[in-house]
A = this chain, B = another copy of it.
């Protein structure tokens, strides 16, 4: 018999370790155990099961060849022993054994190990307000939760819902409830924007507007104080810091917390974040115990800080590394840049690295550019607008983060995935300008939007592009401090001149040279065009004529339209 490997947790990382290890070491004895009876499933698919894109919950548990990944599958296909409804209760490190409990019978026993893997994951946080544990206050942590919500929906009696937390899962479940089930959903978030740990304010505004466009009520900077249940009807009353309203269910999506009890009780080192500490080989402070997935903290390669990062993509990559190392190989997990993507109704949202705010908090001196440009050649019939925010450090010019949104999800993600490589390797803005992405009119522009994001940031760093983002513009314009100089054609500008009167100047770009004297010399002006490059060009020209008090609206009218649709109509 080969070495004995016990793996605690059988959702994502656990099965990955087990299967890869089996391929590397046919003689190893591999035991995979889980508290649950449902194992090895695509947890990130839960919102799509709730939302009806995926009909059968077993689809989340099947291989690409449509085989259900149950105990028999692991035994017959993989030669891996799986124990379900079994809880690990204690790690005895000196004896190298784990005390487990068979939950159905209460029987306890010990499993010896040569190597132990902790894949204990994370669980949904239940905030400490009264009513957080009511039966209709649900979480979306596992397949059982998914079944519960979907069954409730299928009764046809759920008309209103509240989702607490506008992180990724909160947004995905909001879409699922709203889109398929037609539930009137209120999304509640403590911070001043959606996806607060993931996006800067510009792309977050795009996401917020997409939610509102689909009828979601968004309550930002709002705290839930209590939830009360009507004993007769089962209806819930949600009391928040702003308002009180009734709903049929509440979904809690207020983040997750690493499951570290086993590790802590075994005196394994935990990090500042409270998650399990691991080295680059993904070993805990005990070299015979590995850990990965949602229960560990990982190094953010941009900020240098260690944090938990609950991403299924990382769990799988880490699983492969752990298996390689257990079987005697050398494989390292160097850290993460947190690449992430999300479908939100008709939009896709993606990011990697740090937001502007996170970069500042980390100690950088960040600068950002926002651009809008179609994904394919503008003369090619099928193209969709992409909105990109790019953050760099002023002094080192190192790229710190990227965020993107747009309707063509594959195209949105593509730009972020590419820049994620630059982030991982600490490269600078010039590398974004010169990114060599494939060009053919059906798929890209000769100067792709991602190159132009780099170019815009390069121009901002050089001081020739003096920008204002759409959100700041909207705020300042509403306060009536500054006028707009619209350099688009007269016809395009007409409705805005009507709406905003003398606050909306219009000189088409091709008339700027001869009408320069019409522009008030000292007055601050916002320069506007369709997507931003022409207003930048105008800014440079005006500066050459001594008119330097201008700011160029980043991403132009296209960005304003997705930031504040009412501005336009």
Contacts and interface: CB of A to CB of B under 8 A. Distances in A.
A213 interface: no
Nearest to A412: B443
Nearest to A489: B65
A248 to B, nearest CB: 27
Contact of A48 (B350, B420, B437, B441): B441
A19 to B, nearest CB: 8
Given A410-B410, A413-B444, A420 B434 contact: no
Contact of A434 (B65, B334, B373): B334
Contacts of A379: 42, 45, 54, 59-60, 62
Contact of A420 (B53, B54, B77, B436): B436
A336 interface: yes
Contacts of A64: 373-374, 378, 530-531
Interface in A372-424: 373-375, 377-381, 408-411, 413-414, 416-418, 420-422, 424
Given A42-B377, A64-B531, A509-B77, A442 B343 contact: yes
A110 interface: no
A537 interface: yes
A460 interface: no
A414 B408 CA distance: 12
A495 interface: no
A526 B541 CA distance: 68
A84 interface: no
A566 B477 CA distance: 65
Interface in A497-532: 509-511, 513, 529-531
Contacts of A259: none
Nearest to A409: B443
A364 B268 CA distance: 46
A79 B316 CA distance: 55
Interface string A318-360: 0011000000000101101111111100001010100000000
B530 A65 contact: yes
A468 B357 CA distance: 51
Contact of A421 (B76, B373, B418): B418
Given A64-B378, A379-B42, A436 B337 contact: yes
Given A26-B540, A379-B62, A530-B65, A438 B312 contact: no
Given A76-B513, A409-B443, A410-B408, A380 B438 contact: no
A45 to B, nearest CB: 5
Given A65-B488, A313-B446, 14 more contacts: A23-B537, A24-B540, A26-B541, A42-B441, A42-B446, A62-B379, A65-B530, A76-B510, A77-B509, A79-B513, A313-B439, A317-B436, A342-B440, A420-B437
7 contacts: A64-B373, A64-B531, A67-B510, A79-B541, A418-B420, A420-B437, A425-B425
